[in-house]
Amino acid sequence: MHSPAKEQPRKALSDLHSTPENLLQDLQLAELCATQKFEKELGSGYAGFEKIRERVKTLTANASKDDMGDDEEEGAVKEEDGIELVLETKKTLDLAIEYFRRVYSFCFYCISENDSVHELQRKCYAGHFRRPPPQAGADTKNRTFRLTGVANVAVTRKLWVDKLNLFITPEQADVLKLGGVSKEDAIEKEITAAITREAEDRWRCTVKKCTKLFLEEKFVRSHIQKRHKDWLEQLATEVPPYRLKCI
């Protein structure tokens, strides 16, 4: 029997997510996430993000008509102060985030991909909300926030952007820079773990059920390369091109 997820409050984002430039960057990342990840995997014919953009443009156009008074002077030019652009960006981003949750069971800010909406709700029940943008001159090093618990919000946001880029296009990400381990290093770690030193001149191979003893470590390594090729080939297929320690 399915047990519903316990209701939880929405999570607060860091205030840096609320600046105009970061809102725009988040929207660009959301578009990449939709078009280069989820919709690309579904194949041609899926353009949910484009539908969101069209819907927001329609809503914005209707709102502009409603705001225009009957006594508007002919030839008058409405000054743009950037507020409408920010509002349109927020609306598009918010609809995209909800699109991810409902269609793909994916939380954009947790970067959590789930098999079902029930699993998503257990991990991130109600999503996230934005704080007001940081004030000019405010101290950004001692704020509390809930993304990763890092003391510096700028570092936290950089980690989040890097992790999301890794999720969208893992083949293009600099995994080593993110703290990951290359495939070669991961295999080398497995080989080292399969060699046991029992005395100064006694080294044993422990690959699978092998117990062969050697005088030096280099002989064990040579033995593994020659006698355990199937194990090495299996490692090569099982270990991904990258392996993250943590982000």
**Residue with token string 């080398």:** 188
Most confident of 29-43, 129-143, 178-192: 29-43
What is the rounded distance in angstroms from the CA atom of residue 54 to the CA atom of residue 47?
11
What is the rounded distance in angstroms from the CA atom of residue 153 to the CA atom of residue 134?
11
What is the rounded distance in angstroms from the CA atom of residue 47 to the CA atom of residue 91?
18
Backbone dihedral angles phi then psi of residue 96, each to the nearest 5 degrees: -65, -40
Strands (E), 43-191: 106-107, 112-113, 128-129, 180-182
Interval 138-197: pLDDT, tens: 555 444 444 444 447 788 888 899 889 889 988 776 666 666 677 888 899 999 999 999
Could you tell me how far CA 161 lies from the centroid of its own chain? 7
> pLDDT-derived band of residue 245, with 50, 70 and 90 as boundaries?
very low
Q: Supply the DSSP string of 100-116, one letter for each residue.
A: HHHHH-EETTTTEE-SS
